[in-house]
């Protein structure tokens, strides 16, 4: 296992490492014991970082994905793929967003709330807070939700009563 990056959790009690063996690992900073292995990437993990509250971890990989992990359970959410390998990922200071960078010299900003919601909850949220007939996601909202720029705009509430 080649460790590529390492960072402390906000409580300084845990460390997360990004590895060349396609994993990220959570360690107890006091004892050095491995707490959990985060498996799912299909390429080297280039970076790993805790959210400001320590509840989540974001990873970036040569497999073209960034992933959000629940730091307690290891459950993962895959963010839509970049056009190239993902070099790094980090949470905003308030934990509401993630920024990722890729080998194609692109950066993306992801809204964590949208990224972690189920499709059903996301549609319900959008459809209940929008005015009738104004339910097309804006280009900026589509980018924040992780859609590529060439994705056609969709009225997400069409046919929802």
Q: Domains of the chain (ranges plus CATH)?
A: 3-111 (2.130.10.10), 117-161 (no CATH)
pLDDT for the residue 161: 41
The phi, psi pair for 123, rounded to 5°, reads: -65, -45
The rounded distance, in Å, linking the Cα atoms of 9 and 28 is 10
**C-alpha dihedral, 127 to 130 to 136 to 139, nearest 10°:** -110
| pLDDT in single tens digits along all 161 residues of the chain | 788 999 999 999 999 999 999 999 999 999 999 999 999 999 999 999 999 999 999 999 999 999 999 999 999 988 876 788 999 999 999 999 999 999 888 898 888 876 676 667 666 666 666 544 556 667 777 777 777 778 777 666 665 44
What's this model's pTM, rounded to 2 decimal places? 0.74
Strand arrangement of the beta sheet that strand 66-70 belongs to: 45-50, 56-61, 66-70, 76-78
pLDDT for the residue 80: 72
For strand 45-50 and strand 56-61, is the pairing parallel, antiparallel, or unpaired?
A: antiparallel
The rounded distance, in Å, linking the Cα atoms of 97 and 119 is 18
Q: Output the CA–CA distances (angstroms, integers) from residue 25 to 38, 74, 117, in the order listed.
A: 6, 10, 24
């Amino acid at each position: 296992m080649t460790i590529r990056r390492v960072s402390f959790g906000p409580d300084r009690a845990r460390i997360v490492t990004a590895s060349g063996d396609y994993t990220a690992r959570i360690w107890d900073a006091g004892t050095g014991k491995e707490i959990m292995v985060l498996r799912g990437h299909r390429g080297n993990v280039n970076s790993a970082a805790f959210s400001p509250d320590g509840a989540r971890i974001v990873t970036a990989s040569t497999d073209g994905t960034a992933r959000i992990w629940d730091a307690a359970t290891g459950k993962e959410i895959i963010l839509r793929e970049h056009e190239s390998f993902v070099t790094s990922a980090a949470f905003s200071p308030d934990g509401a967003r993630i920024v990722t960078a890729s080998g194609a010299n692109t950066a993306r900003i992801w809204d964590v709330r949208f990224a972690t919601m189920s499709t059903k909850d996301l549609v319900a949220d959008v459809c209940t807070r929008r005015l009738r007939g104004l339910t097309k996601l804006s280009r900026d909202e589509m980018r924040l939700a992780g859609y590529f720029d060439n994705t056609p705009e969709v009225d997400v509430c069409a046919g929802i009563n």
